């Protein structure tokens, strides 16, 4: 289940909620009880890096090993 971040427009409270993908966004702030929560846009908590199936199995031609290409460019 993904972790979503929310901010309350009324009191400024920020918090995280573990929710199903199919769940409706939260509306009521747990701190001030006002229906003014807004979902924040945030980055994923991890990055797939290095060699592995996700990198090599769906690429073709010279783009097989992106990890060693980025290390060589540094």
Supply 29's token pair: 């702030």
pLDDT score of 26: 95
CA–CA dist 2, 18 (Å, integer): 6
pLDDT of residue 68: 56
Please list the residues that pair with 37 across neighbouring strands: 8
How many folded domains does the chain comprise?
Answer: 1
Residue with tokens 């060699």: 51
* pTM greater than the 0.75 cutoff: no
* Domain of residue 28, residue span: 1-41
Residue 8 lies in a domain: yes
Share of the chain above pLDDT 90, in %: 47
Alpha-helical (H) ranges within the chain are 53-56, 66-73
Domain annotation covers residue 64: no
The string of pLDDT tens digits covering residues 15-44 is 999 999 899 999 999 999 999 999 998 776
Please report, for the domain that includes residue 31, its CATH number.
2.20.28.10
Residues 13, 31 contacting (CB under 8 angstroms): yes
Residue 72 falls inside a structural domain? no
């Amino acid at each position: 289940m993904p972790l979503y971040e929310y901010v309350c427009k009324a009191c400024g409270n920020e918090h995280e909620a573990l929710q199903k993908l199919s769940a409706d966004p939260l509306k009521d702030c747990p701190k001030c009880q006002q229906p003014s929560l807004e979902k924040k846009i945030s980055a994923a908590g991890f990055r797939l890096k290095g060699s592995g199936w996700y990198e090599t199995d769906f690429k073709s031609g010279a783009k097989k090993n992106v990890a060693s290409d980025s290390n060589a460019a540094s």
